[in-house]
Structure 1
Amino acid sequence: MRLPDFLIIGAMKSGTTGLFFDVCGHPQVYMPVNKEPHALCDDKVLTEAGKQEYADLYVAAGADQLVGDASTGYSKLPDRPGVVERAVAVLPEDFRAIYIIREPISRIISQHYHEFSRGLVGADINAVVREHPRYLDFSRYAWQLRPWVEAIGRDRIRVVLFEQYKSSRSAVVAETCRFLGLDPDERPAIDEQEVFNAGDGKPVPGPIWNAIRGNKMYQKLVRPLVSSRARHHLRKYFMRKAPPRPTPPSAETIAWLQQELANDREELAAQWDISPWGDVPAN
C-alpha cells in the first residue's frame, strides 16, 4: 500500500498549484490525478476503507517514485483540525512536508478574490476580513507550522517563499527536489512563463463545468486518462470568467491586518529566520 512520502500543505493562494506541477514534473515523482485529495482532513482515512481509498490514488506509481499529496486544507487551522495527527498515524515514518507562504496581505487579498468570484463572500474586503477569522488564521504561518514541527521536527519541513519561487522558480524547485532526496538535474527544464491560478480572469466554476465534473462517466473514464496539467488548462473552456477585482482594502484595514499578524510574523522570523516582507502588500 503506497501512501504519500511528502505533502505540500499550503498555504492557500500562495503558489501551491505551480509548485505541485513543477515538483511532479520530476520523473521520480508521482502525484494523483486529483491535485487536492484532502484525505487527511477527515477521520475516514484512519479506517481501513478510508486508508485504502487514499492508497488507491497511488496505484499507478512506479516502485522507484516518490508519491505526494498537495492539499491546502492541511494548513487551515482551526477550520481543519487533526490533520497532523492523521498524517502521523497513516503516512510513512519519514514523510516530509513543504509549506509555501506568501506576503500575508497579498495572500488575504487573493483569498478574498477567490471566494468572492465563487459567490461565497461579498465584495467589501474591509467587512469580510473582519467577519471571517479564516483570512487571518490562514496567514498565521508560524501558528500553522507549530503542530507539524512538534510532530515531525524542523528537518522534515521545508518552507518556501512564494516571492522567491516567483522570481527564481527553477532554483527553488531544484532545492525542493534536493529536500526530497531527488536529483534536480533529472527534472526537465521549467517553462518560467507558465502561470497557474493567476487571479485576474481566472475561470471559476459554472453550471457547465459543474455538470461535467459531476458526471460519473467523466469521473471514471475520462478524468483518470487526462493529466492534472492538461485538465488545468482545458477547464477554462468550460468555466465562466471571473468578475473584475473588487476595491482593495483600505489603509486602515491593512494596518489592522498587519497589527493582528505582528506576533505571528515575529515568531516566524525567530523560529524560521524568515522575515522578508515590508509593511505594504507585495505586487
Structure 2
Amino acid sequence: MSMPNFLIIGAQKAGTSSLYYYLKQHPQIYMSPIKEPHFFTYEGANPEVSEADRNESFAVINNIGDYQKLFQGAPESSLIGEASPSYIYAPQAAERIKHYLPHAKLIAILRHPAERAYSNFLHAIRHNHEPLKDFRRALQEEETRIRENSVFLWHYKSKGFYYKQLSRYLDLFDRSQIKVCLYEDLNTNPAGVIKDLFEFLEVDSSFEPDVSRKYNVSVVPKNQFLSDLLDHLKPIKPAMKTLLPDGVRHYVRSKVFDTPPPISPEMRQQLVAEYREDILQMQELLGRDLSGWLK
C-alpha cells in the first residue's frame, strides 16, 4: 500500500490549509483526500471528535490500514503528501513518523506565535468549541486545562513554543529532510514560497499554481446560530460546492462571518515577552531574522 513521501506537520493556524491546496494543484503531487488525518498524533487512540469536525478536511485516522487507504488513489509516479498541523505539537508524532516514514520530507510553516495563538482562539470560538469567550481568560486557564488533559485545540499559548517542537524532529531526522517556512512570507510572496517548496520536494518548480485564494482564514460569527448551522452542514459540503456557485457561497459566508478584531496590544506584548527566549532560539536555529516577532 502507498504511504506519503512528505508531510506538512504544522503549525495550526499558520497557513497549512493554503499550502495543502496550493501543492495539491501540482500534476506530480497527490494530496490525501482528507487534508488532516492526524494519524501520527492519534494512532491507537480514540479521541472525541464532534460531528461538526467530521468533514472532508478533518478526520482522526487511528490505524495504519485506514491511513494507507487514503493514498490508494495516488498515481504510481506521483509524490504523496498530507497536512496534519497537530504533528509538530504532539509529543509522540515525530517518533511515529520516523518509524513509518524514515525518509519522508517534512514541511513546517510557522507564524508569529502571539498572532497564531489568537487566531487559534478565534478558530475555536467560530466553531463553538470554546466556552470561554475572552482570550485573556482562556490563556489564564490553559495550564489547568493541560493538566486535565484537555484537547490540543485549547493549548493556545503552548503551541507557539516552536523551538522545542522542531527540536524533536531535528533530533530524529536529517536536517535536509526538513523545510521551515514562515506564514508572513506566504502572505507577502505565496508564489515564491510554493516555488521553493516544489524545489524542496524535487518536482517541476516551473509549475505555477493559483495562489490567489487564502484558505481557512480566521473569522468570527456575526450570528452564532447560522455559524453552528453551517458547521452541521459540513458533511454535505462537497455537494454544496457542486450545487452552489462560488459567488453564492462567498455571499452566504459574508452574511454569517465577519473579520475579527486584532489582538489587543497589551495581550500581544504579554505573549511576546513570554515567547522572547524561544523566538531568539528559533532565530539562531533557522538563521533568519525574526526580530519582527519580538515587536
TM-score by length of 1: 0.81
**Counterparts in 2 of 1:264 and 1:53: CA distance versus 1, 3 Å:** same
Name the structure 2 match of 1:241.
256
Aligned length: 261
Is the partner of 1:160 in helix, strand or coil?
strand
Name the structure 1 match of 2:39.
39
Cα distance in 1 for partners of 2:167, 2:10 equals: 14
Cα distance in 2 for partners of 1:137, 1:164 equals: 23
Is the partner of 2:70 in helix, strand or coil?
helix
Name the structure 1 match of 2:147.
none
Name the structure 1 match of 2:106.
97
Name the structure 2 match of 1:194.
213
User: Aligned-residue CA RMSD in angstroms?
Assistant: 3.1
Matched, 1:56 2:69: yes
Cα shift at 1:169: 0.9
Name the structure 2 match of 1:2.
2
Q: State the one-letter code of the partner of 1:117.
A: R
Do 1:265 and 1:275's aligned partners in 2 also have CA atoms closer than 8 Å? no
Q: State the one-letter code of the partner of 2:157.
A: L
Cα shift at 1:211: 5.2
> Which of the numbers 110, 115, 129 marks the counterpart of 2:139?
129
TM-score by length of 2: 0.78
Q: State the one-letter code of the partner of 1:273.
A: G
Do 1:209 and 1:238's aligned partners in 2 also have CA atoms closer than 8 Å? no
C-alpha offsets along residues 191-210 of structure 1, whole Å, 9 cap, x if unaligned? 34312122236899624542
Cα shift at 1:170: 0.8
Cα distance in 1 for partners of 2:248, 2:5 equals: 29
Do 2:104 and 2:177's aligned partners in 1 also have CA atoms closer than 8 Å? yes
- Unaligned runs of 5+ residues in structure 1 are none
C-alpha offsets along residues 221-266 of structure 1, whole Å, 9 cap, x if unaligned? x78xx89xx9x99987898834663673352x32321121111111
Matches within 5 A, 1:1-283: 1-44=1-44, 50-76=63-89, 80-91=90-101, 93-119=102-128, 120-133=130-143, 134-185=155-206, 187=207, 189-200=208-219, 206-207=228-229, 209-210=231-232, 213=235, 241-242=256-257, 245=260, 248-251=263-266, 253-278=267-292
The share of aligned pairs that are identical, in percent, is 25
**Counterparts in 2 of 1:202 and 1:161: CA distance versus 1, 3 Å:** farther
